[in-house]
Amino acid sequence: DGGITQSPKYLFRKEGQNVTLSCEQNLNHDAMYWYRQDPGQGLRLIYYSQIVNDFQKGDIAEGYSVSREKKESFPLTVTSAQKNPTAFYLCASSWTGGDTEAFFGQGTRLTVV
Amino acid sequence: KNQVEQSPQSLIILEGKNCTLQCNYTVSPFSNLRWYKQDTGRGPVSLTIMTFSENTKSNGRYTATLDADTKQSSLHITASQLSDSASYICVVRGSNYQLIWGAGTKLIIKP
């Protein structure tokens, strides 16, 4: 059953803590992405990776970190430096190239308590 | 500044009626435009892609149009169903991996 899986679906974080969101894909895609979605706004790119062991900052990378040690996995860590982390986080993957479709996971809703 | 603006912000229609969602963009250079459907609490799913040379493309009850001269796209939904209730997002690809996302139109279908 091919797809992209995010976990957990819901996550609660205390202020000052780091949390890691998981993203795994078995579509054999080279590119993976992390987006943040806030109510009434478009998706904003946090980080993306086109190849293993390489990743690039997106538009709002401050307070976040990623790793790409395996092709299938692209975890996102929300650090205590991110001042407003409550949001819906979406992971996506795609083939590299200009006209490729991004396939999304089900999302993780992070809430700071 | 590269931007994608969608209208209306939200829309309520009765089941069985048609509706049209709008997307205006200022992204340059333009590569392609996609419409995504996003159910509440889920990830977006692609409905259709429009390239520079395409004016109209249909996917079942969904028909997308593109006017590259005026930089406008529309998504027309025919004979709406309750399952069409979702957010519809327009995203324009510029150079390389640059994707500019609209804020979406929230569509509610009432029985």
Query: Averaged over B81-97, what is the pLDDT?
Result: 89
| B99 contacts on A by Cβ (under 8 Å) | 45, 102
A16-41 pLDDT, tens digit each: 899 999 999 999 999 999 999 998 78
Question: Between A and B, how many CB-CB pairs are < 8 A?
Answer: 49
Q: What is the 3-state secondary structure (H, E, C) of chain B?
A: CCCEEEECCEEEEECCCCEEEEEEECCCCCCEEEEEEECCCCCCEEEEEEECCCCEEEECCEEEEEECCCCEEEEEECCCCHHHCEEEEEEEECCCCCEEECCCEEEEEEC
A79-89 pLDDT, tens digit each: 988 989 999 99
Contact A40 B9 (CB under 8 A): yes
Asked if the C-beta of B9 comes within 8 angstroms of chain A's C-beta atoms, the answer is: yes
Query: Averaged over B37-64, what is the pLDDT?
Result: 93
Query: Nearest-CA distance from A101 to chain B in Å?
Result: 7
Query: Nearest-CA distance from A65 to chain B in Å?
Result: 19
pLDDT for A30: 92
| B41 contacts on A by Cβ (under 8 Å) | 88, 106-107, 109
Is a pLDDT exceeding 80 seen at residue A99?
Answer: no
Is a pLDDT exceeding 80 seen at residue B98?
Answer: no
Name which of B5-14, B29-38, B91-100 the model is least confident about.
Answer: B91-100
Query: Nearest-CA distance from A50 to chain B in Å?
Result: 10
| B100 contacts on A by Cβ (under 8 Å) | 42
pLDDT for A27: 94
pLDDT for A83: 87
| A36 contacts on B by Cβ (under 8 Å) | none
Query: Averaged over A3-11, what is the pLDDT?
Result: 95
